[in-house]
Amino acid sequence: MKTIKSKIDNPLSDLISDEIYELLNSKGLIDEKSVRDYQIRNKFKELRATKLSASDAIDALREEYPYLQFDTIRKIVYQIHK
């Protein structure tokens, strides 16, 4: 039996399995904005680990998310989690 690849890429694959993500998403339990912000924070950390300045890292993220302003990305990456 062939395995059919999910239509949805799991952006949380480091946290949950593809099956769980697909189930949660199909039930409307995934907050897309929070997932996007999680991905932005992870990419920012990766860019900073390569000794890129914070400003340049945010500019690089703006190329990937052109609909977000510089200050919006800055607030996302420096957001304090409770």
How do residues 42-79 score in pLDDT, each as one tens digit?
999 999 999 999 999 999 999 999 999 999 999 999 98
pLDDT surpassing 90 at residue 8: no
45 and 12 Cβ atoms separated by less than 8 Å: no
pLDDT exceeds 90 at position 29: yes
- Report pLDDT for 82: 59
Determine the pLDDT at residue 6: 44
Domain coordinates in residue numbering, the chain: 31-77
Specify the residue for token string 């697909």: 22
Structure tokens at 74: 């800055």
Indicate the pLDDT class of residue 80, thresholds 50, 70 and 90.
confident
